Amino acid sequence: MKILVLGSGAGGGYPQWNCNCEMCSGVRRGTTRASWRTQSSIAVSRDGQHWVLLNASPDLGHQLRSNPALHPCGAPRDTPIKAVVLLDAQIDHVTGLLSLREGPPIDLYSTPSVFEELTTGLPILPVLQHYCGVHWHLLPVAGEQTAAEFHVDALPGLSLRAIAIPGKAPPYSPRRNDPSVGDNIALLIEDTATGKSVFYAPGLASVGGPEMLWMEEASCVLVDGTFWTEDEMIESRLGAKAASEMGHLPQTSRPGRPGMIAALDRIGARRKVLIHINNSNPILDEQGVQRLQLADHGIEVAYDGMEIEL
Ligand code: HKS
Ligand code: ZN
Ligand code: ZN
């Protein structure tokens, strides 16, 4: 199985257009060693010819141009992207669908909750009906059903599992403060020929018992790397909200609240990778002490263009 990191940044990317924090101004000035990042999305394939996109970032057009594996080949109009799975309805994860409008109907896999957001509060799907059209594939994760196994028609040999995870509905949603099962899912994708698997969760509000069990099954995890500390945005005077209020588990622990590093310490995956990294996160600095700390725990930081072969 091949995994291609199309974008490794959080919403806004890195550096963020309106931000003068240490990380953003440092990379603009050339005093911080870090690479620019587009908004998060990955592509997965078995054969390198047929790919499924996990989330569709607003930077999708740029991401497709930059990755030869995703260029058209053969017919006059063609694409190796055979399907899209959405893990939530956040703007930074779904608006790239609009950049696929010139192609064939999009085979779109998501939960009832996400389909509802994308037909009401952010009506991308009705809009796309006037362009390429969308084939809906509903993943039954709602109410009491918290996990569902499925297959993507064009990628036989991959077994996918959608898993409800804790999180919030997007800021534009009328259901923002009334979370329900299916607002946020993680994906566990297994190559049935090799048994190798990847767990993808760019937004993870907490790692409880169920998340831990799913993560333990994976050969590789790509998980929420948004914030280093709970109060990162507040302390740098970038925002008013703590990481947990935004549905993101910070990497570092605080009293009684283990962080992502502690969670990753408890699993046996061969590759542990942070993705969806916010512009404020000191782990962006390749020469920072935080990178050494991560390395001590066997944790990698995703970058745009990163390829993982399992
Ligand atoms: C900045 C942003 C921070 C950021 C926050 C979140 C907030 C929002 C919500 C996020 C993201 C980037 N880049 N989505 O100002 O520095 O309240 O649900 O997901 O990608 S969480
Ligand atoms: Zn985000
Ligand atoms: Zn910044």
What pLDDT shows up at residue 106?
Answer: 98
What pLDDT shows up at residue 169?
Answer: 93
Domain count along the chain: 1
Locate the ligand 1 atom nearest the alpha carbon of residue 39 and give its number.
20
Q: Which positions of the chain have pLDDT values less than 70?
A: none
What pLDDT shows up at residue 124?
Answer: 98
Locate the ligand 1 atom nearest the alpha carbon of residue 280 and give its number.
16
Sign of the alpha-carbon torsion through 307, 12, 265, 294: positive
What's the rounded Cα separation, in Å, for the pair 107 and 305?
A: 24
Q: For a pocket test of ligand 1, which of 88, 278, 280 has the largest count of ligand atoms closer than 8 A to its C-beta?
A: 278
What is the chain's mean pLDDT, rounded? Answer: 97
What pLDDT shows up at residue 79?
Answer: 98
What pLDDT shows up at residue 19?
Answer: 98
What's the rounded Cα separation, in Å, for the pair 165 and 241?
A: 21
Q: Residue 32: CB within 6 Å of ligand 1?
A: no
Strands (E), the chain: 2-7, 41-45, 51-54, 81-85, 106-110, 134-138, 147-150, 158-164, 185-191, 197-201, 220-224, 271-275, 299-301, 307-309
How many angstroms is it from 21 CA to the middle of ligand 3?
A: 4
User: Following DSSP, what letter does each residue of 20-68 receive, concatenated?
Assistant: -SHHHHHHHHT-S----BPBPEEEEESSSSSEEEES--TTHHHHHHH-G
Task: Say if residue 255 is preceded by a cis peptide, omega within 30 of 0.
Answer: no
How many angstroms is it from 68 CA to the middle of ligand 3?
A: 30
What pLDDT shows up at residue 211?
Answer: 95
What's the rounded Cα separation, in Å, for the pair 14 and 49?
A: 30
Locate the ligand 1 atom nearest the alpha carbon of residue 21 and give its number.
16
Q: Residue 63: CB within 6 Å of ligand 1?
A: no
**Phi and psi of 155, rounded to 5°?**
-125, 70
In the numeric block, the tokens 């914030």 are attached to 227
**What digits encode the pLDDT tens for the residues 199-243?**
999 999 999 999 999 999 999 999 999 999 999 999 999 999 999
CATH number at residue 38: 3.60.15.10
What's the rounded Cα separation, in Å, for the pair 15 and 34?
A: 10
At 210, which helix (H) or strand (E)? helix 209-217
Which residue range forms the structural domain that includes residue 107? Answer: 2-309
pTM of the model: 0.97
Distances (CA, A) of 219 to 3, 161, 181: 12, 15, 26
Ligand nearest to the CA of 243: 1
Short-list 3, 5, 46, CA closest to 154:
46
What pLDDT shows up at residue 171?
Answer: 94
What pLDDT shows up at residue 220?
Answer: 98
The CA dihedral of 257, 259, 262, 263, to the nearest 10 degrees, is 100
What's the rounded Cα separation, in Å, for the pair 136 and 138?
A: 6
User: In terms of C-beta density within 10 A (0-12 exposed, 13-18 middle, 19 or more buried), how is residue 242 classed?
Assistant: middle
What pLDDT shows up at residue 84?
Answer: 98
* Token pair in block for residue 180: 């329900």
The amino acid at 35: S
What pLDDT shows up at residue 155?
Answer: 97
* Neighbouring residues of 44: CB distance < 8 A, sequence distance ≥ 6: 1, 2, 3, 4, 51, 52, 54, 158, 189, 198
**What digits encode the pLDDT tens for the residues 157-201?**
999 999 999 999 999 999 998 999 999 999 999 999 999 999 999
What pLDDT shows up at residue 162?
Answer: 98
